[in-house]
Structure formats: structure tokens, C-alpha cells
Amino acid sequence: MAVAANPSTWRRVVLALVAIHVAWGLARLPRMVAERRSDIRTFDELGPGLHQLASAKLAGGAALLWLREHTAPGEVVLCEGSQRGPIEFASAALAPRLLVTTAACATTAADFAGRPLARGTRDGRTGTFVLVATDDDLRVEVR
Amino acid sequence: MTPAAIDGVPGRCVEVVLVAFALFGMLAMGVFAAGGEVPDFAAPVAIVGAMVLQRWRRPLGVASPQFASDRWWLLGGVVVVSAATAIVAWGALATPSRTWDGAAMWDGKAALLAERLTLAQPAFRDPGILLHSRDYPLLQPVLMAALERWLGVGRALFPLVYLTHCALLFVLLRRAGAAIRWAVLASVAFGVTPMVLSPSGGGADSGYAEPLLALAVTATVGGLVGKDRWLAAVGIALLAWAKPEGGLYGAVAVALAWLRADRGVVVATAVGWTSAMALWLVVQRDLQSCGRAATPWSIPLALAGLGAAVVLSHRLVPNVRSRVVLAAAVVVVGALAAPALARLFELGGGVFSSYLAGSGRLGERLGEAPTIVVGIANWAWLRGRFGLAFVVVLLVAWRCGSDAARDPLRWLAVMLGVVALPFVLAPFADLDAHIRASMPRLLCHHVGVAWLAVGLGLAAAVPPRQTVAA
């Protein structure tokens, strides 16, 4: 092949490709800024956890938002079900609340590791809140 | 600026950052292994220690001369990398992680450790508390926690890692004798690679541990290229502590050194890998058992024996061809014995066991090899996520006139197989989704090495002119 036989041709081809790569990268810089601006704006609107759920087109944001509004930061939120999918963002969304599995703490317990369990009333039922997770959704139950 | 300043200042800064990361990582892992709490003075001690060690070691490599036009290349490189670093810093500091793994896995641990830099706290000790990927390596969270405690900006780690990676490529290429223009070009080409600068998962400010792992990969391969024992050992230690696949990459680096390098590099890589893995596996056992298991002394002992065997066999088998045969035999026997070894050393938890369990799916998944190969080709060459990085590297591999470029090219060739491995053994049923989610991140680990190979290839193809500017 001509390119293989001629080192200067090979060098020119490599340099041209590197130049295209760099030019392409530089041309993308404004887009990198715009993507971050839009990303940061959405994050500021939705908050941690919920932003990621929205970006990943996963359901469950409403349950996390409800818990954030109806529980105190120092409380423990019980959870059960799948550990994949939207539940992966629950810790970020609910921090500094701790998420503890119902296998480790009964819903009838008063506290866990010295922190009170999140309790209250929802849809007319009073009891301990449990975040129930499936692979693609989250819901809050009262027990 | 004098030639000594141009080559010396970035080199010293890069070395101080890398050694400080490794020293702090070693201190933190050691304290965690002992069940203690890392004191706040550990971070400044690591930085001062890194500065002292950097001054102590002798300079490596001879930089090629510089020319009047190089000033413009340098200026252009500094402007581009500074602008890109500013974008990364803005993206990193504006909010917590906005992407999947960053938010789900790394930020939470960093926040816990920033509060108290110890594993003796409920989230790490109580299996009932939800903690994503409990047994994942902790280097990134501890570095973020240290920066948070010390400076109040844990996420400053991300622009620091990005800038260090760009500077490392410049330094490695200069030390290999590349002209300033090629060192700048490769460094800038890496810095503007779409995947590296993207805000999505795996990008510089995404909060993922990929950028830190990629920096460790480039440092390790740079150490092998320049026969720089310190750099190779530091890079390998960072690999082991950054992400689970880092341990495997470190083993590959030891194997490549064992096959081709001199005794000093083999000793450095073997000691670096075995000691870092020993420390990490003790901490990992603690994480998996939530602090309930006794210290597994058998693991450090076995790794010490393995390290000694590597060094000794390098001396006893001087012929490269014999080493290749022996290495192939060790890989085959090791792969067959992996489940038994995992049982023997009780490496039963987390990602390692899920992949070992996947060895049963090997036959079935091998039938899907074309899908995996197409996945690699698609993400490396066709989707544009890496720009032309892996296209140019193919050209360099095809007609490489540089001995130095062969080390990074060998690394990339081996990594093609290593990158395919998780897809063969992964416990996920939907292979296409797994490839889509993981392939860009896995390839991103090696993009710095790709640009190192390109820079070395260019440096060999275009020898420096003989006239030096006044």
C-alpha cells in the first residue's frame, strides 16, 4: 500500500486525523457548556435523586419527593423490594435520612441505630412509612 | 520560560499529585484495615511526603530540544486545557453528581466518609442500611472526603484528575523524547475527546470513578514505557484502589512487565500490585462482612508468595518466548482454578463472585462473541464517543516506527480481550443493554493510553529538528 510504503504519507494521514479530532473536540466545547447548563438547571429544579430518575426516564420520583416532604432529615426510612433501578437513587434523594431494609428492622420498632423511624399519615392511614421498590418504580406504603 | 521549567514544572506537579493520591490511599486503606479513623493531618502529610519523595528521586528521561514555534504550541495547549478544565470544574462544583453511578454509588460514600473518615460507622457496619456497591474500592470517596474535610470542596477532585491526566500525557511524551508540539497535541487531543469531556456517565465531572481509573491506567502504562519504577508502582496501587477492574488491569501490567521489562520494573510492578491488592482485599473483606470477619491474613501471605514467584521466575526464565508460553499456561490454569481459589480465600462477595459464577455461562456467551466484538467496534470507532482516538491508534499500530509505542499498543491489544470479559461473564440477561451501559466506560479507561501511543508514534515518525531556538 502506498501509505505503508511512504512514511511521510502515513505521518500526514495521522496528523490530519489528529487535527480533525482536535478540531471536532474544540467545536464541541460550546455544546459541552450548553449540556452542562441544561443539566445543572434541571438538577436545581428537581434535586438530587429525582434528577437522575428523570434523566433515566424511571418512575418513582413522586414517592421520593413525598417522603422528602413528609419525613425529618434525621429519620430512618424503611424500604423493601428490588435493589436495582430507581431505588439506587433513593439514598441520594433522601439524604441525610438513612434507608434501612425491613429485613433488618421491623416496622413496629421505634427506632434504628438511635434514629426514629419515619412515621405519619398518608391516605388516611397512620403508621410507619415503607418505600417499596420494583425494578422500574417506587411507592410509599404505610404499615 | 526555560526548557527546564517547561519540562520540570508539569513533571513535578504530576508526580506530586499521583504520589500524594497513592500515599493518602495507602494511609487510608491501612487505617481502615486496622479498624481506625483516618486523622485530618493525613492529607497534608501525604502531600508533604509526596513533595519530599519527588525531590528525592532522580530525574528521568531526556527531553528533546525546543524551538521558537513551540511557544505557540505550548500557549495553545495551555489555553485549550485551561478552558476545558474550567468547564469540568464548573460541571463538578455546580451540583452533586448528576449521573447514575456518581449519585447512586460514589457520592453517598464520599459524604459518609467526609463526616467521619472511618468504616466504623453504621452505614458500613450494618448490612440493613442500604449502601450501593458496599464492597467497591474506596479511593475516590476517601480522596473526595479528604478534600471536603480539608478544603471544603470534595468535588475539586474531578478537575484535578482531568488536569493531571492531560499534564501526565505531556510529561510522559516529553520524557520519551517527543517534541513539544507532539506532546501538546496528544495531551490536547486527549483533553477534548468527546467521552472524556462529556457530562454524561464516565465523563470527567460525572462523579464516576472512571476518570481516576483512567489516570491510573495511563500512569501505569507510562511507567512501563519509560521504565519508571515509581510511576509504574504508584499507577498500579491507584488501579487496585480505584475500581474493581483496576485489580485486573494491575495484574495485566505486572504480566506485561514480566514478559518484556527489566528486573527493576518487574520488582516495582509486582511489589506495587501485590501490596496494594493485599491491603485492599483486607479492607474489602471488612466491608463485605460489615466488620464482622477476622482479618484474612492468608490473602496478604498468598499475594506476597505470588509476588516473590513473579520476581523469581523472571530471573529463572530469561527467554521471552519461554515466558510467553509460561504466562499462557498460568492464565489457563488460573482461569480454571479461579472458583476454587476464590473459595479457598473466601473471596465470596460482591462483583468478583458474580463474575466467577458467570463462568458457567461461558459456553453460552461465547456464541454471542460477534455481538460483543461488534459492540466494541461500535463504541470505539463508529459512535464518535471517542472522536478519532481509536481510529488513529489503529493507524499507529499498523505502521508503528517506535519501540516505545509498542508498550501502549500491547496494552491496548490485551485490553481488547479484557474489555470483552465482563460481557462474557456478566450476570445480566440483556447483553445489548449491558454493552450500551458499560462499553463506553470500559473503553474510556484506555483512551489516555491510546493518545500516549499516538504521541509516541508521531514522535518516532517526526524526529526533532537539530536547530534549537535561542
B144-195: pLDDT as tens digits: 999 999 999 999 999 999 999 999 999 999 988 888 999 999 999 999 999 9
Residue B55 burial by CB count (10 A; 0-12/13-18/19+): exposed, middle or buried?
exposed
Q: Which residues face A76 on adjacent strands?
A: A98, A117
Beta bridge partners of B129: A100
CA angle, residues B310, B316, B322, in degrees to nearest 5: 85
Residues of A in contact with B192 (CB under 8 A): 21-22, 24-26, 28-29
User: Which among B450, B464, B467 has a CA at the least distance from the CA of B217?
Assistant: B450
Mean pLDDT of B87-103: 94
Q: For residue A56, which residues of chain B lie inside 8 Å, CB to CB?
A: 100
**Considering CB atoms only, which of A4, A40, A99 is closest to B130?**
A99
Q: Which residue has the higher pLDDT, B8 or A28?
A: A28
Q: What percent of chain B has pLDDT over 90?
A: 64
pLDDT of residue A1: 39
Query: pLDDT per residue over B312-355, tens digit each?
Result: 999 999 888 899 899 889 888 887 887 777 777 666 666 666 66
**Using the beta-carbon criterion (under 8 Å), do A21 and B129 form an inter-chain contact?**
no
pLDDT at B68 (0 to 100): 73
Tell me which chain B residue has its CA closest to the CA of residue A53: B100
**Does residue B5 surpass a pLDDT of 50?**
yes
Q: Under DSSP, is residue A80 helix (H, G, I), strand (E, B) or coil?
A: strand
Residue B209 scores a pLDDT above 90: yes
pLDDT of residue B350: 61
Q: Count Cβ neighbours within 10 Å for each residue of B361-370 and write b for 16 or more, e otherwise.
A: eeeebeebee
Residues on chain B touching A38 (C-beta within 8 angstroms): none
Model pLDDT for residues B111-126, shown as the tens digit of each residue: 999 999 999 999 999 9
pLDDT at A127: 95
> Does the structure show a pLDDT above 70 at B357?
no
In order of A33, B95, B96, B199, the CA distances from B90 in angstroms are 9, 9, 11, 11
Provide, rounded to the nearest whole percent, the portion of chain B with pLDDT above 70.
90
pLDDT in the model for residue B347: 65
> Which residue positions in chain A have pLDDT lower than 50?
1-5
Model confidence at B64: pLDDT above 60: no
Distance CA B192, CA A53 (A): 28
Crossing angle between the packed helical segments B180-191 and B70-94, to the nearest 10 degrees: 20
3-state secondary structure of B234: helix
Give this complex's ipTM: 0.90
- Note the pLDDT of residue A4: 47
Of the pLDDT bands very low, low, confident and very high (cuts 50, 70, 90), residue B422 is confident
List phi, psi (to 5°) of B291.
80, 10
- Cα A61 to Cα A67: distance, rounded to the nearest angstrom: 10
- Confirm if A140 and A129 have CB atoms less than 8 A apart: yes
Q: Nearest-CA distance from B141 to chain A in Å?
A: 15
Query: Is B470's pLDDT higher than 50?
Result: no
d(CA A13, CA B211): 29
DSSP state of B105: I
Q: For residue A140, what are the β-bridge partners?
A: A131
Measured in residues, chain B has a length of: 470
C-alpha B328/C-alpha B325 separation (Å) is 5
How many whole angstroms separate alpha carbon B348 and alpha carbon A71?
A: 37
Rounded Cα gap, residues B375 and B365, in angstroms: 14
Contact A17 B129 (CB under 8 A): no
Angle between helices B298-316 and B263-288 (to 10 degrees): 160
SS3 readout for B213-235: HHHHHHHHHHHHHCCCHHHHHHH
- Return the C-alpha cell found at B69: 514555534
pLDDT tier for residue B231 given thresholds of 50, 70 and 90: very high
How many whole angstroms separate alpha carbon A130 and alpha carbon B13? Answer: 50
Q: Per-residue pLDDT averaged across B264-287, rounded?
A: 95
Pairwise CA distance, residues B118 & B270, whole Å: 29
Cβ count near A142 (within 10 Å): 16
> What per-residue confidence (pLDDT) applies to A7?
66
Global pTM value: 0.93
For B192, which of A4, A25, A88 is closest by C-beta distance?
A25
A52 to chain B, any CB pair closer than 8 A? The answer is yes
Contact B108 A92 (CB under 8 A): yes
Answer whether B123's CB lies under 8 Å from A113's CB: no
Contact between residue B199 and residue B98 where contact means Cβ atoms under 8 Å apart: yes
> For B424-455, what is each residue's pLDDT tens digit?
877 667 888 889 889 999 999 999 999 999 99
B216 to chain A, minimum CA–CA distance in Å? 23
Closest CB to B392: pick one of A18, A24, A44.
A18
**pLDDT, averaged across chain B:** 89
